[in-house]
Amino acid sequence: MAYDEQLAQRIRLGLTRHGAEFTSKDMMGGHVFLVDGKMLCGIHIDKRYGDSLLMVRIGEESYITELERPVCLPMDFTGRPMKGYIYVIPEGFARDKDLDHWIRLALAFNPKAQASRTKRRP
């Protein structure tokens, strides 16, 4: 199952509306968007859920509050939840206004986020 290209286009448009300079690439069984070389958000194909989920990096402060929403799940594709990252089910980003909420949260956290270290190949 391929990731939702229509959702990817909506994310691109949302990031552009916010004036964000971003890159994107296929990663982790889906597609991710990066700002300043740091993962911002993406689309994850969840086999257990059976749909494309929106992955958002919002930081630990927002994590606890946002997880209380019925449209949010902990990001746990490895079997261990990653604090500061959430999944949003399709009902939580169906409207552009809802998707914009997640993009704004991710962009607000991005300056505080640390970039992942690049692994050196032998």
Task: Walk along the chain (122 residues) and give the pLDDT tens digit of each residue.
Answer: 578 899 999 999 999 999 999 999 998 678 999 999 999 999 988 777 778 899 999 999 899 999 999 999 998 867 788 889 999 999 999 999 999 999 999 999 999 988 776 655 55
Encode burial over 96-122: b for 16+ CB neighbours within 10 A, e otherwise.
Answer: eeebbbbbebbbebbeebeeeeeeeee
Residue 117 lies in a domain: no
In a domain, 121, yes or no: no
85 part of a folded domain: yes
Domain of residue 60: give its range. 5-112
- DSSP annotation of 50 reads T
Rounded Cα–Cα distance for residues 66 and 102 (Å):
10
- Per the structure, the count of domains in the chain is 1
